Structure 1
Amino acid sequence: MTSTDISRVTDQLAKTKVDEQYELSFKGKGLKLNAAADAKEIVTEIEKCKLMTALRMEGNTLGVDAAEAIAKALEKHPEFQRAHWSDMFTGRLKTEIPKALEFLGAAIMKAGSGLVELDLSDNAFGPNGVVGLVALLKSPSCYTLQELRLNNNGLGIGGGKMLAECLTECHQNSVKAGKPLKLRVFVSGRNRLENPGATALAGVFKALGSLEEVAMPQNGIYAEGITALAEAFAENKNLRVMNLSDNTFTQKGAKNMANVLPKLQNLEVINFGDCLVRTGGAIALSNALKEGHQKLKELNLSGNEISKHGASVTVENMNNKPNLKKLDLNCNMLGEEGIQEVREAMKKINKLEILASLSDDEGSEDENEEEEENEEEADEEDVGQDVAEGEEVNDPELQVKGKAISPNKQTTAKEFLDFPSASKLLQLGSGRAQALREQLGADVNDLEKAVQAFMKISSVVTVDDTKTKEAACDCADQIIEEAVKCNQENDAVLLANTILVHIGVLKGEEKTYKPPSNITGPLLVLEHIVRQPYFPKFSREMLQAFCSKPHPLLDSASQARHKLLQTLYAF
């Protein structure tokens, strides 16, 4: 190689840009940043960085003045790309958060940064928080956005619509600028978007056509919203991950989703767990996946009231999926015979090892052809609206179109309180709260007895079982509300003190009382109760003070504790 050749290669290498990531992290430090002076360490480190493409601030709490100080330092980093800012506003007022976000967003825009990732998950800022993001989301700094994570923010319908408007304008402006927005990842779970919010966002997804991963679990979306999302997903041919778990498809929504699945041949993960797709919906979905979909790795249809027939058809349709690593049909209605049939069918196609546990199967019902036909015709209007002899039935667990059916087993409020279990609570049906109140009688007027009942009800709740949690929240809510009304003369200290004793955070006078070893359920239900108008403000403040301190029981239920504290700080 001549000197001229060497010189040419050297010049070429000099012109080559190496894409490196320089991340500055303050993750999990638990910093309380109120004034600008509190943020001095962070500001100094940002200013010292010659090249900072990512900033991690998770697990701290940021006030307005501190955010302004950090923002000024961010203005000097046009290369900034990734904002890892989840769980960053614990304890902040809802009026503070939008201002803090406005400062940070303005800094990114002033620097001329091109964001690639924005993660603001687990910040309970509600629709008001989106106000602080409007300018940023519409700006050229977001034309480059690839990943948007807004999980567990309490957006609601209003926040969802506002977000959709911002993204729509961003996309339209980016197209005009010749730099079309190509969002790949959108995460917005646990936000109560419901049909209107989901439909508004579906319009954005349809226009984008660039999505690869969508996660929108637990948003109260029914068939109408699911249908809108399905139609939007049809335009996103590269979609790999679809997580819509814990919404309410019904068979109508499931069948509409099934209609678009053949267009999405790049799917790798489908999570439709706890979506009430029922047998007809499961068959429609798996039939749509039968041909093609060679990249499919995971299919979750757990908790969907699927019969053994629906499960068998689903298994059969998974026969030609060489990359399938997990099939989840747990918490359905297979019965012992159905479980055995499914396992045998999976064994026959050499896929038994990928079948998730069926340990929580809810047992089969007596089925006949007429019932299956009715079930397959069920739609969104059936949820909570079944009628038997003119009587309205509001329990989705007891539905078949045009008639009400009984659960597999009957139980009483007394049997539940004597030996609490999730199945017994659900078997009490739609009148469970009233039945429990009647069983408690005059005891519901006694705070001590009411909290004891609350502990029994909430003890059956787990993180992943939404149906049981909703039932428990409804029952506990009515009992505690009645107890609070009957004890208005007492101050709020007694209520908070009684709860803290029963979850084991405080020692009570009753030395024989032993708190439960696992308080995840009580904390999850308590998070619902403290949001209610009847719950005293000072009781919230007491719970916040004690639950924010280190304690073995609280530490062992860290996820539920974190959610409770987020809610307490938000008030």
Structure 2
Amino acid sequence: MSSFGFKDFAEALAETKLSGVSFVGQAKNWGTVAEAKDLIDAITNCKTLDYLHLEGNTLGVDAANGIAEALKKHPEFKQALWKDLFTGRLKTEIPQALMSLGKGMIAAGAKLTVLDCSDNALGPNGMTGLVDLLKSPTCYSLQELKLNNCGLGIGGGKMLAQALTECHAASSSAGTPLKLKVFIAGRNRLENDGAKALAKVFGIIQTLEEVAMPQNGIYHPGILALSEAFKLNPNLRVLNLNDNTITAKGARHLAEAIEVMQNLVDVNLGDCLLKTTGAIFISEVLQDGHEKLETLNLGFNEIGAEGGLEIAAALHNKTHIKDVQLNGNQFGTDCRDRITELMLEYGKGDALGPLDEDESDVEEEENDEENDEYVDDETEGEESEGEYEASEDDGDEIIGINRNSTLDEPAPNDLSWKKLNDSVAFVSEEARPNTVETFCNTTVPTLAMFNALEENDKVAAFRAFLQSIPEEDYLVYLVYSILKCSVISKESNEALEVSQMLFNDCYEFAEKTNQVKRVNNFFLYQLGLLKHEDKNFHLVYDIKACRAALQHAIKKNSIPAEARSTFELFLNNC
């Protein structure tokens, strides 16, 4: 967190002059108007209602109607602090209650500056309860919007973006354009599409000073869109994208935006899979300027020694730096010692956080164990879990599914599936949104994930997602999508059908681009039909299920004749 400066002190002092009603943490259950009488009376009798702080209680529809009537008498109302307000309420109750409260404020002609509905299970359904409010004159004055941990999903994110876009357009026409300063929407499963929609709004508003969107399952396409928007918000002071999958590819674009944002005070890119290349991109733009920087979090990013030293060197002129988090990377002992020495030389030793967790030690142990256990049997490792990484050197790896951009030389797997899956931002299967994108970006997706997809036409849904991938990455996503559907094809005829259609698409594209041989070799390696030269290479997928799906594709003529002959030769001799 950034330090508490004079501006913060002035704002805090101003807040002490505000008056209002607070029932914080009282665990009240306001279901009916009668049950909310104390609250309604307090609002009605408050001479100047600057804020209404209701965090830690639970509100029903009937009680919300009564509160709305009381709010109609307070045009001076500014801060709706409604965090954690709907625990235990039905999904149908939340939007109705929010709509009612919004109508009360709109009728009063209130001018909100802060709206905080964090830690409420809104979802897309609940978001409908805020749309009319956000588009109304009541929110033309909005400065802080906090919707952290609300489960908005892609749909809710798009609805939010549309409402803010309309608010900005209407407020601009009225001569008072929306000047949003703080936007907080962490843990909302926005993914790429939600991030892209919000990025468009950020690019329109251009007054942001704080953006926090951690744990949203955002990958490179979403990071690219956000980066372009951040360039148009040069006054950004706080940027938190923790626990999204930025990778080196996204870091390149984000670095360009950071170069523009010279007022940054707090930057949190921890657990974003930046790796060494990504860390170097960020470090290079921090080298000069950014004199106001106080907090930098690049922890748990699989950054190697070179990246660690680049980060330390970039901080030599940061006179205000107070907190640097670099723990959980892959520096090694010598690099950690050197980073500590450099920070001491710069007079910033106190700012450096602990470096006691270093993944390079763990990685070396895992690699040693893998080397010891490796045997020549082609079927060994059939049940193993792992993730193949693209090289850091090109800065263009795509993390989240096993892939290699050239297909003919898959890199060894040196990360366990769970470790990588956690770093991609989804810890449990229940927490993952049910989209084709998430399915394809999960290392080993399950039948439950496939069955939970909303689309009736699964083939069309997979094709639509794959067609959204940049052409240079299309084939890589395609071949891994085939494998992931193949893994569950024994249990699901629908998944088998998807894999067959994707086999068609794969070889059609491979023939057009002269990559048939590469695709053949890739499948031969992944299905354990051809031994890889690198002894650290391990099988990830259920090869029996994948081989069965391949044989089915051969029977259905989903694979061209030359490739069929190749596969049949290996399958008949395995």
Instruction: Please report the TM-score for the alignment, with normalisation by the length of structure 2.
Output: 0.66
Query: Of the candidates 266, 273, 288, which is equivalent to residue 269 of structure 1?
Result: 266
Q: Secondary structure at the match of 2:398?
A: helix
The alpha-carbon deviation at position 262 of structure 1 amounts to 1.7
Matched, 1:67 2:75: no
- Asked if the contact 2:149–2:188 (Cα under 8 Å) also holds between the matched residues in 1, the reply is yes
How many pairs are equivalent? 402
Q: Secondary structure at the match of 2:160?
A: helix
Amino acid paired to 1:55 = L
The alpha-carbon deviation at position 466 of structure 1 amounts to 7.6
Structure 1 Cα separation of the partners of residues 410 and 123 of structure 2? 39
Amino acid paired to 2:353 = A
Query: Partner residue of 2:548?
Result: none
Matched, 1:31 2:48: no
Matched, 1:376 2:399: no
Query: Partner residue of 2:3?
Result: none
Residues 368-413 of structure 1: CA distance to partner in whole angstroms, max 9, x if unpaired?
xxx999313243534322359979xxxxxxxxx9412335xxxxxx
Query: Partner residue of 2:257?
Result: 260
Residues 131-171 of structure 1: CA distance to partner in whole angstroms, max 9, x if unpaired?
01111100000000000000000000000000000000000
Query: Partner residue of 1:188?
Result: 185
Q: Secondary structure at the match of 2:62?
A: helix
Structure 1 Cα separation of the partners of residues 236 and 213 of structure 2? 14
Amino acid paired to 1:377 = D
Query: Of the candidates 377, 394, 413, which is equivalent to residue 405 of structure 1?
Result: 413
Query: Of the candidates 125, 128, 148, which is equivalent to residue 128 of structure 1?
Result: 125
Q: Percent identity?
A: 48
Query: Partner residue of 2:347?
Result: 350
| Matching of residues 142-157 of structure 1 within 5 Å | 142-157=139-154
- Asked if the contact 2:68–2:101 (Cα under 8 Å) also holds between the matched residues in 1, the reply is yes
| Matching of residues 42-191 of structure 1 within 5 Å | 42-191=39-188
Q: Secondary structure at the match of 1:386?
A: coil
The alpha-carbon deviation at position 426 of structure 1 amounts to 4.8
Q: Secondary structure at the match of 2:393?
A: helix
Q: Secondary structure at the match of 1:55?
A: strand
The alpha-carbon deviation at position 269 of structure 1 amounts to 0.3
Q: 1:123 to 1:472 in 2, by over 3 A?
A: closer
- Asked if the contact 1:223–1:380 (Cα under 8 Å) also holds between the matched residues in 2, the reply is no
Matched, 1:284 2:271: no
Residues 80-105 of structure 1: CA distance to partner in whole angstroms, max 9, x if unpaired?
00000010000000000000001000
Query: Partner residue of 2:243?
Result: 246
| Matching of residues 319-334 of structure 1 within 5 Å | 319-334=316-331
Compute the RMSD of aligned alpha carbons.
3.1
Q: Secondary structure at the match of 1:262?
A: helix
Amino acid paired to 1:375 = E
Matched, 1:215 2:212: yes
- Asked if the contact 1:386–1:404 (Cα under 8 Å) also holds between the matched residues in 2, the reply is no
User: Mean Cα displacement is larger for which, 89-98 or 346-355?
Assistant: 346-355
Provide structure 2 residue ranges, at least 5 long, that are not aligned to the other structure. Answer: 1-14, 368-387, 433-441, 449-574
- Asked if the contact 2:111–2:138 (Cα under 8 Å) also holds between the matched residues in 1, the reply is yes
Query: Partner residue of 1:528?
Result: none
Matched, 1:385 2:393: no
Matched, 1:307 2:304: yes
Structure 1 Cα separation of the partners of residues 356 and 425 of structure 2? 17
- Asked if the contact 1:387–1:404 (Cα under 8 Å) also holds between the matched residues in 2, the reply is no
Amino acid paired to 1:69 = G
Amino acid paired to 2:189 = R
| Matching of residues 484-563 of structure 1 within 5 Å | none
The alpha-carbon deviation at position 126 of structure 1 amounts to 0.4
The alpha-carbon deviation at position 346 of structure 1 amounts to 1.5
Amino acid paired to 1:36 = V
Amino acid paired to 1:386 = R
Q: Secondary structure at the match of 1:374?
A: coil
Instruction: Please report the TM-score for the alignment, with normalisation by the length of structure 1.
Output: 0.66
Q: Secondary structure at the match of 1:406?
A: strand
Structure 2 Cα separation of the partners of residues 471 and 335 of structure 1? 33
| Matching of residues 390-469 of structure 1 within 5 Å | 402-407=410-415, 426=418, 469=427
Matched, 1:293 2:293: no
Q: Secondary structure at the match of 1:132?
A: helix
- Asked if the contact 1:238–1:264 (Cα under 8 Å) also holds between the matched residues in 2, the reply is yes
The alpha-carbon deviation at position 337 of structure 1 amounts to 1.9
Q: Secondary structure at the match of 1:327?
A: strand
Structure 1 Cα separation of the partners of residues 223 and 155 of structure 2? 18
The alpha-carbon deviation at position 23 of structure 1 amounts to 2.1
Structure 1 Cα separation of the partners of residues 56 and 30 of structure 2? 12
- Asked if the contact 1:426–1:471 (Cα under 8 Å) also holds between the matched residues in 2, the reply is no
Amino acid paired to 2:119 = D
Residues 38-64 of structure 1: CA distance to partner in whole angstroms, max 9, x if unpaired?
010001111111111100010000000
Structure 1 Cα separation of the partners of residues 16 and 297 of structure 2? 37
- Asked if the contact 1:281–1:376 (Cα under 8 Å) also holds between the matched residues in 2, the reply is no
Amino acid paired to 1:200 = A
Q: 1:277 to 1:80 in 2, by over 3 A?
A: same
Structure 2 Cα separation of the partners of residues 159 and 328 of structure 1? 33
The alpha-carbon deviation at position 259 of structure 1 amounts to 1.1
Q: 1:56 to 1:239 in 2, by over 3 A?
A: same
Structure 2 Cα separation of the partners of residues 96 and 386 of structure 1? 44
Amino acid paired to 1:246 = D
Q: 1:292 to 1:47 in 2, by over 3 A?
A: same
Q: Secondary structure at the match of 1:275?
A: coil
Structure 2 Cα separation of the partners of residues 137 and 359 of structure 1? 46
